[in-house]
Each structure stands twice: as structure tokens, then as C-alpha cells.
Amino acid sequence: MFGLDALTLARIQFGFTVSFHILYPAITIGLASYLMVLEGMWLWKGKPVYRDLYHFWSKIFAVNFAMGVVSGLVMAYQFGTNWSYFSAFAGSVTGPLLAYEVLTAFFLEAGFLGVMLFGWNRVGPGLHFFSTAMVALGTLISATWILASNSWMQTPQGFEIVDGRVIPVDWLKIIFNPSFAYRLAHMTIGAFLSTALFVGASGAWHLLRGNDTPAVRKMLSMALGMLLVVAPLQIVVGDLHGLNTVKYQPAKIAAMEGHWENKPGEGVPLILFGIPDMAAETTRYAIEIPRLGSLILTHSWDGQFPGLKEFAPEDRPNSTVVFWSFRVMVGLGMLMLLLGVWGAWARWRGRLYTTKWMLRFALLMGPSGLIAILAGWYTTEIGRQPWVVYGVMRTAHAVSNHSAMTLSVTLIVFIVMYIAVFGTGTSYMLKLVGKGPHPHEEAVGTDHAEGQSLRAARPLSAAPDSIDPALTGKE
């Protein structure tokens, strides 16, 4: 298809499926923790606004959780179908790590998700809050194992190669590899940022439409407060992650910076914008700030790090793509910080809920956290190329023996099915957001709240039937 070979098509197919999958767990991680905070505040302060927000966002969480599970199943199968040589080579490490996720995170979530979604008036408040907290913990444990596996592929250690296969020799070194802590923190904070922006955009949208209720105000206030705290923290973690990458993956840093060669005795400039040309080995139309690259990446005025010319051409990542994906991520991060500061200023002036331009900005920034996660993931994964296990196994040696035609057909099928399935799910989730939070009516004389059915605890069944009047007989 389009003159692409089987390797490129396999990479595109995996990138396509993972791009969908990474979005839903990011919101799941953030919403689970947000729901835990909301229920904790309800139990502590007893204010109905926290209860109302909990019930509103728990419906959206349920739909999002279901789509995350479905999208993850396809990704897992692709390891065996499209990347069988990688699975045969490194499966003794990646397989157990993914199994640990199932044994810890999935079992924890499965055990408490039903109580969280359907047990509001069936169990005591303490047990229900504990269930919400366990689901939130499960999402974080899941992220931990996934990031441990990915980080090992980026900075592998704790293994030996015997008869052409990876053999684990030190699981602590495998799990706590050199980049694990930075990747886990960066991804988790990114999930919190994405959720805060999503919640904040929802509040802004309702306020701009005149739906000015205590619940809407509270979710906007909490979101912008979270943003003000977490956005600067992400910048600090990103800086530490960059220093780690300079040490363990210098070619990736050179590609991100569009940096080709050092000049003796001179610091490295920061290239703000430009067009890296892989064939000509230069970055065209570069707009530079002298020595700032050295200051950021070495914390010294004249420090240097390797340029792309120091690596063989076949070992260089595609700087043209990585250069710009990195700048998309950083640029959106700066806008997130700006929104957090603007929100703090509006709060101080007593105009947090009435500053129209700030509310419009918050609405536009709604998807920016997810876009930044995708841009960061592209930077990480494309910047690792041509290695699937960095410095150990090349991506070209990991792909299965499928024809380009086979991969082309399956890629087209994936695109059509994903747009249909996840387009429908996302549309439904946004429809729920558009309904807005409403006061939650506690059950009187019954064992369950109004609108809460006795169906089995399937994630999608937590979404209210009342979204369609025809299902309830209500107009």
C-alpha cells in the first residue's frame, strides 16, 4: 500500500492501535483518582456538590474504562501476530511483566469495579470509598507494569542472551531499569493533566452555555487548581527525564534537538524551529538560541552532547518526525501552564467563572493533554528506532514474515473498525458530558438509587439508560 514495505506497515498498524489505546487508559487513570478525591470530600465535608460530581463522572469513567479494555486486547494480540520474532526473543521478560499486570491491577479492578459503580446504596460508605480507592490504585498499578515493560525496552538491563533469547537474571534490575522512574512519573502526571484539562473544558463549556451551577463551578475550580500544581511539576519531571535520556539514549536526544555536530569549545544552541533534513545531515531554516541547549540538557553553559553525525546513518532516529513531535508536546505543556496561571489570576480577581476568554481557552485546551501524550509517545517510540530493544534487537529483526498486502488489508480493516467502534463510544461519552451534572436523588425505601439498575457489573452498563427517553418512558 502506497509503496510501503511490510516493516513500515507493521509499525504503522501497531502505532495506530496503540495511539487509540493510550488515550483511554490515560483518562481512566486520572478519572479514577478524581473520583476517589470527590468521594473522599463528600464523606469528609458532606456537601452534595461532591456527591453529584461523583455520580456524573462515574458514568463517563465507566464508558471510558470499557473502551480502554477493548482497545488493549487488540494491542496484546499484535505482539504475537505482527511481532512474533520479538515475542520469541524477549517474551521471557515482557510476558511476565504483562502477566503481573493482570494478576495485580486487573484482578484488583475487577474485584472492586462493580461495587464502585453499582454499590452506592448497597454497601456502607466506608466500603464504597475503599472500592473506589482500590480501582484508582489498580489503574496506577497497571501503568506501573506497562511502563516497566516499555522502559526495559528503552533501557534494558538485568538479562543475558542465551541461544538467541533473552533470559532474565535480575528482576529488580529489569523492573527498576534506569529510565523506569522517569517514564512512570511522566506518564502518570500526563494522565492527571489530561483529565484536569478534560474536566476543566467540560466545566467551561457548561458555563459558556449558561449552565452555571455549583457542581459546574466546582469541577472547573478543581480542574484549574490541579492544572496549576501539576503543570509545573511535569516540567520538572520532563527535565529530569531529558537528563536521563542524554545518558542512556543520546541519539534520541540529538534527533529531538535537530543537533548534528558539536563545535569545539562552544555550547549547543537550542533550535526552536527548523526542518531537519536526514539526507543532507542538517537542520534547515533553524531559529536558534545560543547555548540554551547546553544549559537545558547538561545544566552547564558550554556542555555538549553527541550530535547525530556521531552515529552511523543506520542507527539514527528520524529527526524530522521526532523534532516536531517533541515540540508539539512541549508547546502544549507551556499552554497548559499558561491556563493554570490565568485561572489562578482570575480566581484572585474573583472572576474565575465569568472571564469569557479564559473559559474559551479552557474549552479549546480540553483535548490538549491527550494530544501531548500522543506527541510524547511518538517522540519516545520513534526516537528509539531503529531498535525495538535499545541496542540489543533491531525493529527489522522483530517483525513477523507477513506480506505487505496482508498488512495493508488488515490496516484498512483496523482503521474502519476503530473509527466505527471508538467513534461511537467517544461520541456517547461526550454526549454524557454534555448532559452536565445533576443533583443525585438518594433512594427512599429501596435498596438502590433511582436510575441505578440491578444489572450485572459490566462497565458500559453503568451508563444511564435515561440518556434515551425512549428507554425509560420519560419525556
Instruction: Give per-10-residue mean pLDDT for the chain (475 aa).
Output: 80 88 90 95 92 93 88 80 90 91 86 89 91 94 93 95 93 95 95 95 94 92 95 94 94 93 87 92 91 88 90 93 95 96 94 93 95 94 94 92 88 89 88 83 43 41 44 40
pTM (2 d.p.): 0.88
Instruction: Report yes or no on 457 lying in a domain.
Output: no
Rg (CA), the chain: 24
Instruction: Answer for the pair 170, 158: CB distance below 8 angstroms, yes or no.
Output: yes
Say which amino acid occupies 286.
A
Instruction: Answer for the pair 253, 294: CB distance below 8 angstroms, yes or no.
Output: no
Instruction: Report yes or no on 458 lying in a domain.
Output: no
Instruction: Report yes or no on 441 lying in a domain.
Output: no
DSSP H stretches of helix in 82-213: 84-101, 107-118, 125-154, 171-175, 180-208
Instruction: Report yes or no on 442 lying in a domain.
Output: no
Signed CA dihedral, 84, 86, 88, 93: sign only: negative
**Backbone φ, ψ for residue 388 (5° rounding):** -90, -40
Instruction: Report yes or no on 117 lying in a domain.
Output: yes
Instruction: Report yes or no on 109 lying in a domain.
Output: yes
Domain total in the chain: 1
Asked if residue 313 has a cis previous peptide bond (ω within 30° of 0), the answer is no
DSSP H stretches of helix in 271-318: 292-298
Instruction: Report yes or no on 469 lying in a domain.
Output: no
Domain residues for the domain of 242 are 6-435
* pLDDT for res 440: 67
* pLDDT for res 137: 95
Instruction: Report yes or no on 448 lying in a domain.
Output: no
d(CA 373, CA 401): 31
Cα torsion at 113, 55, 19, 93 (round to 10°)?
Answer: -20
Single out the residue of 21, 113, 56, 28 nearest to residue 459, CA to CA: 113
* pLDDT for res 451: 37
Instruction: Answer for the pair 358, 346: CB distance below 8 angstroms, yes or no.
Output: yes
